[in-house]
A and B are shown apart, each in its own frame.
Chain A
Amino acid sequence: MVRRGISYAALAVITFVLLFPLLYALSGSLMTASEISSFPPPLLPSRPNLRNFADVLRALPLARQYLNSAVVAISVMLGQLLTATLSAYAFAFLRFPFRNFVFALFLATMMIPWEAVIIPNYLFMADNSLVNTYPAFILPFLAAGFGTFLLRQFFLTFPRDLVDAAKVDGCGHLRFLWSILIPLSKPALATLGIYAFLSAWNQYFWPLLMTKSDAMATLQIGIKRLRDVEAATAPNFILAGTVLALIPTLILIYVFQRQIVRGLTTGALRG
């Protein structure tokens, strides 16, 4: 009984500490500018109000930036699901020369830091007048070595017989992929989808270079601009914007946590 009490106390304290940034962001977003700027800083608003949210929505085209982030993240997610499924299928079920070499090439992509290739990519986008357009945000991330790896590991857990049986049935690769493999792979696909979505949604460096107008900014860049403008003057304002930007990703990780974890345990971590 006492032990259980201690357990809960420990859990509660640690959860509070770890969640403090989120709690403070929520609390601060409801404060007035003078309240949050007083010292020592209060932790709770004396009279919570939603003014900051209205102000942020007025100051920035946040709805538009939401849309931009969503378009980019969803496109990248769908693109990666498609390209990774196809290539993982090839690595798991098809025989072709240099298969291991090509697979190593795919894995090697995880070791090329995007920053190391950012200048040629910048030039490429500038050359083709793609700066400040959706394709610039989306195209480079339509394929991912990690996604291929994850799905391949998952596919390899299927018995080889399944594939052979399907072939005997006269099932073509595409049909087998579509009507048998994908339905069976939903957990892994969900994991990859969530990862792809989150990483695209949270990107910072590349959108920073590619954004040349508020209307094309993603939420992350919107937050940065909010901070540039309001940094020291209105923390409450920044926190309100931050909270708005956080809602989709927090929902995602709270609601789909089982899928995220399941993907981690199936395959991805097995040598």
Chain B
Amino acid sequence: MLTQVELTGIRAAASAQVRDRHRLAARELLTAALFLLPSLLVFTVFLFWPLLRSAVISTYGNDIIGRPTRFTGSHNYQLLLSQPELHEVILNTLLFTLYTVLPALVIGIALALLLQLRVAGIGFFRTLLATPFGFSVATASAVFGIFFNPGVGVLNGFLYPFHIHPVGWLTSPTTALLAVAATTVWLQLGYNVLVLSAGLQAIPEDVYEAARLDGARGLSLLRHVTLPLLTPSLFFLLVVSTIQSLQSFGQIDILTKGGPARSTTTLVYDLYLNAFAFGNSNFGLASAIAMVLFLLVVIVTAIQFGVLERRVFYR
């Protein structure tokens, strides 16, 4: 039999425990809030709020220094859609993405497979093949710009012994986008090789052995074992490098400035031309372009997740 006093004591103790737990939860909440605050602050000030503001500015006309001054509704969008160049610009953007992402993936796989060779000193080659990752868009473009020089460039120098006429890599509308894309592919390769060889190395040996016991060899081993197990890395690279490609700016600015004849003007570059280049400050129109870019990134990423992620083989 518990005495009244004892009962009261237990009750008090129990409720104290509940209070403690509450206090603990409250403290945890406070801690979480404090820990998240710095990141959230940066995101809010420099991403979320500006995204909202971009949307607002895209519905405004601006004064000659770019300051939004008057609400114009969908005017900027109508303007954008009415210009024939928008189609060209979006096409350029998508083509550029296609020309960069896929080759960089395919070549990346080939290089990563090569690096699986079991020979002494392979680590040395692995280190070297990551070299493009150490380049920036500016440094890579500076070097490739010299390769592509129509008069004295190395590329035309290689063609010279074969009596092939000098190609205006960056000055001809048919080759410029490809030349800029080639620069980007090279730039992307270093990272792709790193990620893909890490992915390959993570595949356990016993999986291969089991497959070999089942009679898989060479290409079929590659198709049925290696590639499926590599899909997480491939998918990751696909998503990341697509977003990156859609945002490409530096190589275009340094190599072609969007030319010749607008053949390398992508959405981002068009935004730059309208907002910041040649004395322009058309922030309203440029913000409309920014919104189109944002939508494009969201749509493309969503498609990739919707269509391809199902085929990714997560272990």
Contact = CB atoms under 8 A, between A and B. Distances in A.
* A and B associate: yes
Interface of A: 4, 7-8, 10-11, 14-15, 18-19, 21-22, 24-25, 28, 36-41, 43, 82-84, 86-87, 89-90, 94-97, 99, 102, 105-106, 109-124, 139-140, 142-143, 145, 148, 173, 198, 201-202, 204-205, 208-209, 219-221, 223-224, 226-227, 231-232, 235, 238-239, 241-242, 245-246, 249-250, 252-254, 257, 260-261, 264-265, 268-271
Contacts, number: 277
Nearest to B135: A246
A249 B28 contact: no
Tell me if A's interface is mostly helix, strand, loop or mixed.
Answer: helix
A261 B195 CA distance: 7
Given A94-B32, A116-B293, A119-B287, A209 B276 contact: yes
Nearest to A43: B154
B176 interface: no
Question: Most chain-B Cβ atoms within 10 A of its Cβ — which of A83, A139, A232, A270?
Answer: A83
Contact of B249 (A115, A139, A257): A115
Interface string B298-310: 1001000000000
A95 B29 CA distance: 7
Interface string B65-94: 011000000000000000000000000000
A97 B32 CA distance: 10
A257 B193 CA distance: 12
B267 to A, nearest CB: 8
B68 to A, nearest CB: 9
A110 to B, nearest CB: 8
A271 B312 contact: yes
A14 B111 contact: yes
Interface string B14-54: 00000000000100110111111011111101110111011
Given A96-B28, A202-B136, A8 B254 contact: no
Contact of B28 (A38, A94, A253): A94
Given A109-B47, A201-B136, 15 more contacts: A7-B119, A18-B111, A24-B147, A83-B39, A102-B36, A116-B293, A120-B49, A123-B67, A204-B253, A227-B254, A232-B151, A239-B143, A239-B146, A270-B314, A271-B232
B99 interface: no
B189 interface: yes
Contacts of A8: 119
B290 A119 contact: yes
Top-6 shortest CB links A-B = A202-B136, A120-B50, A204-B250, A117-B50, A143-B42, A140-B46
A224 B39 contact: no
Contact of A260 (B142, B194, B201, B276): B194
B233 A269 contact: yes
A87 B36 contact: yes
Contacts of B67: 123
A227 B51 contact: no
15 contacts: A14-B129, A18-B189, A22-B143, A36-B152, A37-B152, A40-B161, A43-B154, A89-B35, A115-B268, A120-B53, A120-B57, A122-B275, A124-B45, A208-B253, A260-B194
Interface of B: 25, 28-29, 31-36, 38-43, 45-47, 49-51, 53-54, 57, 66-67, 111, 114, 117, 119, 122, 125-147, 149, 151-154, 156-157, 160-161, 186, 189-190, 194-195, 197-199, 201-202, 232-233, 236, 243, 246-247, 249-250, 253-254, 268, 271-272, 275-276, 283, 286-287, 290-291, 293-294, 297-298, 301, 312, 314
Contact of A118 (B135, B140, B290): B290
A269 B199 contact: yes
A28 B51 CA distance: 44
A24 B46 contact: no
